[in-house]
Amino acid sequence: MAHGRRRKGGHAEAHENHERWLISYADFITLLMVFFVVMYSMSSADSEKFKKISQSLSQAFNVDVLKGAPDAGLMDGAQTPVAPIDDLIADKEVPQVQRLKTKIEALLEGSSQTPDVTVGRDKEGLVIRLSGSYLFDSGRAELKPNSLAVLDTIANELRTVPNDIRVDGHTDSTPIDSPRYPTNWELSSARALAVTRYLTETDGIRAGRVMAAGFGEFRPIAPNDTREHRAQNRRVEIHVLSSSTPQGSSAES
């Protein structure tokens, strides 16, 4: 009689091992632990990336991404207008922008149209604000002939700097009744494009530097409660962006 074995048909048969599952179980536990270690490492890295992205978005849109709390002046349906952009002075002075501001103010000084054209600074750079009633007739997007000289003066200085330019159109909250411009968005966009085209096609500002945007009545600088305040909100703003990368090695001629 052989110990631990028995014969059947002349062949030795080994006992069945009932603990083989422990090997697979140990392998599974090991793989599971590695999986969680890798996931934890990835989550830590993504957390750092998310913080960096949220900081960039907060600066760009004035929104706290981590808390999801937008600035009150930018919230949909906000009743209080945002602060005048002339009051949003950049923390860091940009000498190039300051020089251009001084030049344009000097060129406009003494002009009969000075109250309709103001020069200020915001967090993006230089802002040249022109009254909508000075540039356009009511409900229209064709430039008035008497406004062209001031645009020419501004363009003369814009050609001396390589910065990108954004032309913004704004209206008051009075609904427009026009087949050509169904809403104030279309009207403000058409006015921004009219100024943009004049600066590029007539005054020779390189088109690749300039962009246009229409904001309708949704970015007021004064309440739309009086005639004078509504006139302030009807405006075109030419933004000389201080943060842009210079395009080309020299100023335009």
> Residue 2 pLDDT > 60, yes or no?
no
Q: How far apart are CA 250 and CA 162, in angstroms?
A: 7
Task: Name the average pLDDT for the chain.
Answer: 74
pLDDT of residue 140: 95
Encode pLDDT of 87-138 as tens digits.
334 444 556 566 767 777 777 776 655 557 888 888 888 899 999 999 999 9
On the question of pLDDT at 237 being above 70, the answer is yes
Burial class (CB in 10 A: 0-12, 13-18, 19+), 151: buried
CB 108 within 8 A of CB 153: yes
What pLDDT shows up at residue 88? 38
Give the CA distances from residue 239 to residues 39, 74, 125, 144, 220, in Å, rounded to whole numbers and listed in that order.
46, 19, 7, 21, 16
pLDDT at 190: 97
Burial 69-80 (b: 16+ CB within 10 A, else e): eeeeeeeeeeee
**pLDDT of the residue at 243:** 59
Q: With cut-offs at 50, 70 and 90, classify the pLDDT of residue 46.
A: low
Q: How many CB atoms lie within 10 A of CB 210?
A: 18
